[in-house]
């Protein structure tokens, strides 16, 4: 869709962030701890798959559901700030879906 084309760079950044968290055991464990601290069941950030037509939407939807936890993760790990979406990028994705 047209909206999806506009948000490509933000979606790519979101995908890269989710992938980075999944590949880093310390960050993955930090994220688990944040979920526990907030009394929420742990949800792993999903990655989209080129062969599944709706997987990008699923990845985005999951990241919106856990953004409060990922916000805390970035706050606890300032080196992630450049990898994480800013408010404008979140808005861009939100408008596109």
Split into its structural domains, the chain has a count of 1
Does the structure show a pLDDT above 80 at 49?
yes
| pLDDT for position 29 | 98
| pLDDT for position 5 | 62
Q: What pTM value is reported for the model? A: 0.89
| pLDDT for position 50 | 86
pLDDT band at 96 (very low <50, low <70, confident <90, very high): confident
Look over the chain and give the mean of its residue pLDDT values, rounded to a whole number. Answer: 92
Evaluate whether 31 touches 21 at the Cβ level (below 8 Å).
yes
Using CA atoms, how far apart are residues 13 and 74, in angstroms rounded to an integer?
A: 14
Range of the domain at 15: 2-96
Evaluate whether 11 touches 60 at the Cβ level (below 8 Å).
yes
């Amino acid at each position: 869709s047209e909206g999806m084309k506009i948000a490509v760079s933000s979606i790519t950044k979101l995908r890269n962030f989710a992938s980075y968290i999944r590949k880093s055991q310390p960050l993955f464990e930090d994220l688990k701890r944040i979920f526990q601290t907030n009394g929420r069941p742990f949800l792993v950030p999903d990655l989209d798959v080129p062969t599944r037509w709706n997987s990008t939407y699923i990845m985005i939807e999951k990241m919106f559901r856990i953004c409060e936890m990922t916000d805390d993760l970035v706050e606890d790990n300032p080196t992630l700030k450049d990898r994480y979406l800013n408010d404008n990028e979140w808005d861009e994705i939100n408008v596109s879906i």
